[in-house]
Structure 1
Amino acid sequence: MTNLSDIINVLPCMKSGDSLIAALEVLPGYNPEIRNTDTSVRLMALSDLYRVYIPSQMSLEIYSKLYLALLRSMQKKGTKLAVQQQNQNYRAIIQQEYSGIMGGSDSFTIIGTSGIGKSSAISRAINLITENRVIEADNPYTHVIPCIIVQCPFDSSVKGLLLEVLRKVDEVLDSKYYQNALRARATTDMLIGSVSQVALNHIGMLVVDEIQNVANSKNGKSLIGALTQLINNSGISICMVGTPESSRFFESAIQLARRSVGLQYTTMSNDKYFQDFCKVMFQYQYVQKRTEITDGIIAWLYEHSAGITSVVVALIHDAQEIAILNGKEILNLKSLNEAYEQRLSLLHGYIQPSISLGKQTSKIKKKTPISTVMATDNKISDDCLSIADLVAKAKNENMDIVQLLKSNIPVVEVAV
């Protein structure tokens, strides 16, 4: 028999170090013989690339943050304060008298650039933390869902978010909170009381994804206020996940900034993790001609992904798909460049390949001069010939114009 006050003992032990990395990692099985099978079979198996998950430092931090937040929330279940809050929530529904007894500020954010794997890291962490989809307690008899994930409505509707929480609870517990709320035509104030009561009894932690929607909506501050009231009336932890766009919203007022303390991430650098990630992804080849990854390919992938792992996966996936369909059957810089030009054209404005001096890591995409003359005027100084004079001299004396320019003015050669 499990008492509600002892429910934290049901949670799996917190992992760390190598055991945590091994538990988070997902590497689908791969048989090299598949490269000799039919085209349709290889194209279907190619989607396994999207199932690969290699934990980064961000993954470990998110796991720890979510585990401790859930632990704090579950510790409040079944306490004397929780019983008092249940009574207050009942009065809130019937008499519209709000009083947060449990209080607390158990909200935090996970903010990061789109595509770096925030949602995947949260999903993997929650799957590891909540081995039991539902925790059952006998004294008093109740069911607790360790974590509920909802998306912030595109219009930041408070009522829409509250109804979605009830609908998610109904999906797991087979209850009828959502139907009853619709039937009663509950107002937003009544819904806050109802959802607080449901969260207090049945929810361990609430994750609100796409929280950046509040930044461009007139209802943004109202929704954050409703979440704050939900925390005070239920004692659960609330995690808000979004892109850097939401940071500007939370920084606009101190009461919002208090709710946004948490983790922040940007695109990754070309470090050992990124290189290992590319090497693992390159092992999943479904083209007939197998190739090995090189330092040049890794550098090209970084330049053309801006350090965003989801773009790397898309490039390797689409490059193989194109190579299989056009019969070239090889994964190399040429096929990767075709995928970048044909499939990722909408991202070119956000992913600009970095300028690298000296070594060129990608194929030339168009016929343009590879030399850029860095000058602010036609003449560099009074003692130096003009650019037009240097060009004329190179033609008359049959000299290399690049070398002649280098000897007179600063010149930087770049790969384009």
Structure 2
Amino acid sequence: MMMNNFFLPNGMGAVEAEYHEFPLEEYNSNPFIQALPPLIDKQTIIKKLMSPISYKEEERNMDSAYRLHLIHRLYKLFQPLPIHLSIWNTIHTLIYQGYIARNPFDKDYRRYINKTGKQIINRTFDINSRADFRTTANSATLIGYSGMGKTTTVGRVISNIPQIVVHNYYNYQHFNQIQLTHLTLQTPHNSSLKSLTLQFFMKIDELLGTNTFQKQVSRNLSTDAMLPLMGQVALNVGIGMLIIDEIQHLQNRGVQQMMNYFVTLMNSFGVPILFVGTPASYSVFQNEFRISRRVSGNGEIIWNNMENDKEFYFFLESIWRYQWNQKYVPLTKDLVDIFYEQTQGVSDLIVKLFVNVQEMCITNGKEEFTVDMIKRCAENQFRLMKPMLDAIRSKNIYKMAQFEDLRKIEYTSDIQISKPSKERIEVIQSKTKVVKEATKKITVHKKRNVKRVVDNGDDDIRVLLKISGDTTPYQLLVEKDYIDNMALWMEGEGK
């Protein structure tokens, strides 16, 4: 059946809840789960994700002025790869599993919501206390190179899940509830937890037409007071999953506080979280075992650049048919190799290079590109990215570590090992420099072989002892009044 779409009073689109029966027992008897789309197989997922673009062979004969615009259709193309299926399954698992413990028709869960709500109103809720609630919420991380399409892929996946679902009746019972299946937040550049909280309230108000943000700002509450309110709103609107994008913006001073709250959101309020970021964010999760254990609860998806293998060939082949030059150029091994050499398997750069080389051919009237033209085009268009591409091309971890977004994460014996961070390399280099300088000073000192000359005064004990001759040290010290003559003390005691 087709979903009944309508608009909320604020103009946002929503759907009326339709309940599906699942073969999994734990997914039934819960309106939050049953209102979600049915799970689908791999082939259907690929069809859902795929976004082909319009193309007709006769368009290659159009005037160049129009073809220069037609080639920009390539930016809208989305070709599913195996990693996209992993992201799809991870997101759906997070949302569906996270709702299991949050069944609004479960008496224990309703009791917990009421109890927590009263504590928040009375300001007795302790965010660090152990919640009397067994959550099924989990988290996952998506870490990958800039330009691989992390945010775009997450957006395409969640676009297949209605964001706002309105419930009216469930099993012939009144059930007036708005369900927000997912919400995306951007990590503040200053790692401010208050900024993240206010962003949360603003997004909720934008989607649902509420005035939560205005109320919280007018009350001028502290961050600690606002955090429980954020959790309460998450409970009230049945948030299925929080997506925290650009997590690499977290700075050292804000990591601990923000991560602690994310853990609390999962434990106390049952909200699953997907963290999305570049390799620079990997060290954020490795700093503390407790955080690492929680954020990798539903797995880690590591998205490095493509190797020059079957996957890269498949991706390039999928866009190759979209040529608007008058002379069609077949895909050869030389062309595959030059495209990899100039893009290093970064999805965004592959598409941009393919667009730009076609634009060059149309503009100069040659209407056919060659290996040399591709190389020249890349040199002109990717001039700013040359240091980064050279670092990837070198496969030198120290060069790549200069650009945090390019730090490659490898798998070794099923253990994920991160390459040394830029900070770590700087520490090592600094220590090496200190050792070298110290060694150099020692060497110079030995070469000079300069003896130290100390000018001691006449009353220096060391000088007196050297010139004492036959006089014993004791007699010398007595004569010079450094110590008392003990014989006089003995005679005094005899008297």
Return the TM-score normalized by structure 1: 0.79
- Structure 1 residue 336 corresponds to structure 2 residue 374: yes
Larger radius of gyration: 2
Match of 1:151 among 186, 189, 193: 186
Q: Output aligned runs, 1:54-69, within 5 Å.
A: 54-69=79-94
Identity of counterpart residues, as a percentage? 27
Q: Which residue of 1 aligns with 2:360?
A: 322
Q: Which residue of 2 aligns with 1:136?
A: 166
Q: Which residue of 2 aligns with 1:18?
A: 43
Q: Which residue of 2 aligns with 1:384?
A: none
> How much has 1:14 moved relative to structure 2?
1.3
- Structure 1 residue 254 corresponds to structure 2 residue 289: yes
Aligned length: 352
Q: Which residue of 2 aligns with 1:230?
A: 265
Gaps of 5+ in 2: 1-16, 20-28, 169-173, 395-495
Shifted more, 220-229 versus 40-49: the winner is: 40-49
Q: Which residue of 1 aligns with 2:153?
A: 121
Match of 2:229 among 186, 194, 205: 194
| RMSD (Å) for aligned C-alpha atoms | 2.2
- In 1, the alpha carbon distance for the partners of 2:134 and 2:117 equals 13
- In 1, the alpha carbon distance for the partners of 2:319 and 2:118 equals 53
- In 2, the alpha carbon distance for the partners of 1:217 and 1:327 equals 54
- In 2, the alpha carbon distance for the partners of 1:15 and 1:125 equals 13
Alpha-carbon contact 2:18-2:34 (below 8 Å) kept:
no
Q: Which residue of 2 aligns with 1:209?
A: 245
One-letter amino acid matched to 1:211: I
Helix, strand or coil for the counterpart of 2:241? Answer: strand
- In 1, the alpha carbon distance for the partners of 2:368 and 2:180 equals 47
> How much has 1:49 moved relative to structure 2?
1.0
Helix, strand or coil for the counterpart of 2:260? Answer: helix
> How much has 1:96 moved relative to structure 2?
4.2
* Cα distance, 1:86–1:314 mapped onto 2, change above 3 Å: farther
Q: Output aligned runs, 1:15-414, within 5 Å.
A: 15-75=40-100, 76-78=102-104, 79-83=106-110, 84-98=112-126, 99=129, 100-102=131-133, 104=135, 106-128=138-160, 130=161, 132-138=162-168, 139-202=174-237, 203-214=239-250, 216-261=251-296, 262=299, 263-352=301-390
Return the TM-score normalized by structure 2: 0.67
Alpha-carbon contact 1:200-1:234 (below 8 Å) kept:
yes
- In 2, the alpha carbon distance for the partners of 1:80 and 1:101 equals 14
> How much has 1:186 moved relative to structure 2?
2.6
* Cα distance, 1:86–1:270 mapped onto 2, change above 3 Å: farther
Shifted more, 11-20 versus 324-333: the winner is: 324-333
One-letter amino acid matched to 1:207: I
CA offset digits 1:350-398 (Å, max 9, x no partner): 223859xxxxxxxxxxxxxxxxxxxxxxxxxxxxxxxxxxxxxxxxxxx
One-letter amino acid matched to 2:334: G
- In 2, the alpha carbon distance for the partners of 1:305 and 1:2 equals 45
Alpha-carbon contact 1:210-1:242 (below 8 Å) kept:
yes
- In 1, the alpha carbon distance for the partners of 2:340 and 2:118 equals 55
* Cα distance, 1:324–1:189 mapped onto 2, change above 3 Å: same
Shifted more, 152-161 versus 101-110: the winner is: 101-110
> How much has 1:60 moved relative to structure 2?
0.7
One-letter amino acid matched to 2:246: E
Helix, strand or coil for the counterpart of 1:110? Answer: strand
Q: Which residue of 2 aligns with 1:9?
A: 34
- In 2, the alpha carbon distance for the partners of 1:169 and 1:41 equals 42
- In 2, the alpha carbon distance for the partners of 1:154 and 1:24 equals 31
- In 2, the alpha carbon distance for the partners of 1:205 and 1:135 equals 14
Alpha-carbon contact 1:150-1:208 (below 8 Å) kept:
yes
